[in-house]
Chain A
Amino acid sequence: MNYFFVLTLTGVAAGMIYAALALALVLVWRATRVVNFAQGAMAMTTTYIALAVIQLTGNYWFGFIVALAAGLLLGAVAERGVVRWVENGPPLNAVILTLGLLLILEAVVPMIWGAQIRSFPAPFSIAAMQVGAAFIPVSPFNLFTVGVVLLVMVALLVLFRFTGLGLSMRAAAFAPEIARLLGVRVGRLLTFGWGLATMAGALAGMLVAPTLLLYPNNMDAILVYGFTAAVLGGLDSPIGALVGGLSMGLALSFIGGYLGPDLETAGALAILIAILMLRPQGLFVHAAERRV
């Protein structure tokens, strides 16, 4: 098997996870113009909740659904309970607030579940598949990852493009005062937007844990990758998040494969700095205006 081909496939699988987290960041940004630095920690928290449920019931899918539901709830509570109070203040207040949320979650979770590294079950094998005598460097779980993230993307696209609710959400995101005058309950939609975003983050958490294991800051690096992916996609576009996530997955896979795995995080930061210097509006900002 061609080494380049192997790196490409692993890059796509990892990229889908970054895309899911980037999507969470994009949805929050669209709703409230806040970069939620706690997005990773929130995903970690919902994944711990999922693990508790799985251990209790012995059923992975039950835990999966609880994780998504917990994400919806956690996001909504965070917006309504905390972020709402700083929304009209300077942008820095919201940034510091989400950093505070990150610190709180990463402190509270080990108080409840301990700080040790835990293994996490996967619904499908995480071992490479064998076709005849040859191994393909793709596991059934990788296929599941790609499929479920694409499914979420399509569902969101349908929500935003083809429903009255999605139309109101877009209207509320881009001109809240005008939307209000036209009868849109902007506050509710922002809360829902945060819930939806954290649900996407919770999905990323569930997809990360089987291969990278679960511990209180297991999402920190993923947040950096997801954030870079979101910025790459212009921060405003779910499709940009997908393309950005895939680009990050591929780039990091090639950096890790050809230059050494130690350089992955440094590579992500180098890409982030390069984007912010060369094209701070992101690669897909035009697509964001037109299609989202």
Chain B
Amino acid sequence: MDVSAIGAAAGSRTGPGALGPGSLEVRSLSVRFGGLVALDDVSLEVPAGEIVGIIGPNGAGKTSLFNVVSGFLRPQAGEILYGGRRINGVRPHELNSLGIARTLQGLGLWRGLTVLENVMVGARRAKRPGFASALLGFSRSDRYEAVLTGLARDQLRLLGIERFADRYPGVLPYGVQKWVSLARALVSRPALLLLDEPASGLTATEIKELADLLRSLRAQMSIALVEHRLDLIMNVCERVHVLDFGRVIASGPPERVQKDKAVTDAYLGEELTPTVVEGEADARG
């Protein structure tokens, strides 16, 4: 698919809104693994410039949803719209140039790469030199390394972790490592950020810092947030979608969703469909 055309189209629209640049909308998305339904006719949207929470019990299909949007899974039915343009069939390596960044559960940092190098891998939207000239070490490619390094350092400075640039992730506290993985996602200046459980493993203080950071990013990008920590969701999200067994069971502002009967039932495990086995539900996570 022609990535540059989509990127340009997304960038040419102005103003926030459901179809603005960086917005995400999925329509009637269905994903099945054999007989197991991971996503069942899911429709939801992440309007431009908003922070949208996606919550639900384990196995509700939250990560499957992200996997579909980032091209790791093909949906059996449905549409994915990014900035108003259909991006079904996008491949994972094309996301970066489309302006979509995604973090995975856990850290996923390279232990053999320094913090700076980890972030540099994410900084790839700048015009890059040809394969051959990088190989032969021509001057344009030297400048390219310098640009990569500069972008990565700036991003680390923005997050206040520049002093760890030359350390290896394995020796740093978990909270700092989490910040590094955020820096790696942010360094490409995405218009849409997909965060998969960014708060897991963080202390209460760190979660507050994360909330402040996410709010400060709102002006630059839309954010979809899959999260178990409801304190973070309630704190930063304008809108929440609740998934349960692959279906959207509630959508709306966090305080209203929190009181929704279907949501409390899903979280307390009442009225579970007796035919669904717990283990299968977990595997979908």
Contacts and interface: CB of A to CB of B under 8 A. Distances in A.
B137 interface: yes
B117 interface: yes
A163 B95 contact: no
B102 interface: yes
Contact of B102 (A159, A181, A292): A181
**How many B residues are at the interface, by size bracket?**
35 or more
Given A167-B113, A167-B121, A171-B121, A181 B104 contact: yes
Interface stretch (A55-63, A75-83, A94-102, A172-180): A172-180
A200 B111 CA distance: 27
Contact of B93 (A159, A184, A289): A184
Interface string B119-130: 011101100100
B93 A163 contact: no
B144 interface: yes
B96 interface: yes
Interface string A144-177: 0000000000000011001111011011001101
Q: Which of B122, B128, B168 has the most CB of A within 10 A?
A: B122
Chain B CB within 10 A, most for which of A181, A192, A289: A181
Interface string B97-139: 1000110100010111100010011101100100100110100
Nearest to A186: B93
B188 interface: yes
Contacts of A181: 70, 92-93, 95-96, 101-102, 104
Contact of A179 (B91, B121, B135, B145): B121
Contacts of A164: 120, 128, 134, 141, 144-145, 148
B178 interface: no
A288 interface: yes
B264 to A, nearest CB: 34
Contacts, number: 83
Nearest to B122: A182
Given A181-B70, A182-B122, A185-B93, A170 B145 contact: no
B134 to A, nearest CB: 4
- Of the four ranges (under 10, 10 to 19, 20 to 34, 35 or more), the interface on chain A belongs to 20 to 34
Given A164-B145, A164-B148, A180 B93 contact: yes
A260 interface: no
Contact of B110 (A165, A174, A192, A290): A174
A145 B158 CA distance: 49
Contacts of A90: none
B144 to A, nearest CB: 6
A183 interface: yes
B150 to A, nearest CB: 13
B184 interface: yes
A183 B108 contact: no
Contact of B95 (A165, A168, A171, A183): A183
A182 B124 contact: yes
Given A180-B93, A182-B124, A163 B134 contact: yes
Given A163-B145, A168-B121, A182 B112 contact: no
Contacts of A179: 121
Interface in A174-230: 174-175, 177-186, 192
Given A183-B97, A184-B124, A290-B168, A163 B141 contact: yes
A164 B143 CA distance: 11
A180 B94 CA distance: 8
Interface in B55-72: 70, 72
A182 B96 contact: yes
Contacts of A288: 112
A155 to B, nearest CB: 10
Contacts of B72: 177
A180 B128 contact: no
B1 to A, nearest CB: 15
Contacts of A159: 135
A119 B255 CA distance: 83
Contacts of A182: 96, 121-122, 124, 184, 188
Contacts of B93: 180-181, 183-186
Given A174-B112, A181-B70, A183-B96, A165 B134 contact: yes
B177 to A, nearest CB: 14
Contact of A167 (B97, B117, B137, B168): B117
Contacts of A170: 110, 112-113, 117
Nearest to A172: B121
6 contacts: A167-B148, A170-B112, A170-B113, A174-B112, A182-B121, A290-B168
Given A165-B135, A289-B111, A290-B168, 17 more contacts: A158-B137, A163-B137, A164-B128, A164-B141, A168-B121, A170-B110, A174-B110, A175-B108, A178-B108, A180-B92, A180-B93, A181-B101, A182-B121, A182-B122, A183-B124, A183-B125, A184-B124
Interface of B: 70, 72, 91-97, 101-102, 104, 108, 110-113, 117, 120-122, 124-125, 128, 131, 134-135, 137, 141, 144-145, 148, 168, 184, 188
5 nearest A-B pairs in the assembled complex, by CB-CB distance:
A183-B96, A180-B92, A165-B134, A171-B121, A183-B124
